Amino acid sequence: MNRQLTLEQVRAKFMREPEFREEWERQRPQREFSSALIRARLNAGISQSELARRVGVSRPVIARLEAGLRIPRVDTIMRLASALGVDFTISAVDTVRAEPHEAA
């Protein structure tokens, strides 16, 4: 019997593995940026080719950014935001909790 799994079932299975879960979390900012870029481009009603022209890069660069295969430099993020008429927000979040200081 050939049982097919949904994408969510496959992801849930892999998330049980600590190494996979750690890598998944490490790549979260990249996935979030890719999703935001796609959403902004679609909301602007332009193609990857048009966005590439406005930013001054090739269409494959935009495709790789949207696929999460490339991490953009800050200057590229700024040009993308300008071309799309949006702001991308970069925030610093503590990922390691400091040990409480003992009173002296």
Rounded Cα distance, 1 and 76, in Å: 50
Contact assessment for residue 83 and residue 58, using Cβ atoms and an 8 Å cutoff:
no
Quote the pLDDT of residue 90: 77
Quote the pLDDT of residue 97: 57
User: Is 8 inside a domain boundary?
Assistant: no
Quote the pLDDT of residue 60: 98
In CATH, what number is assigned to the domain containing residue 64?
1.10.260.40
User: Is 76 inside a domain boundary?
Assistant: yes
Domain that holds residue 62: 29-87
Quote the pLDDT of residue 74: 92
First CA to last CA distance, the chain: 67
Q: How many domains does the chain have?
A: 1
Quote the pLDDT of residue 48: 98
Give the pLDDT of the chain (104 residues) as one tens digit per residue: 678 989 889 888 989 998 988 988 888 888 999 999 999 999 999 999 999 999 999 999 999 999 999 989 999 999 999 999 999 887 777 766 555 555 55
User: Is 2 inside a domain boundary?
Assistant: no
Contact assessment for residue 80 and residue 44, using Cβ atoms and an 8 Å cutoff:
no
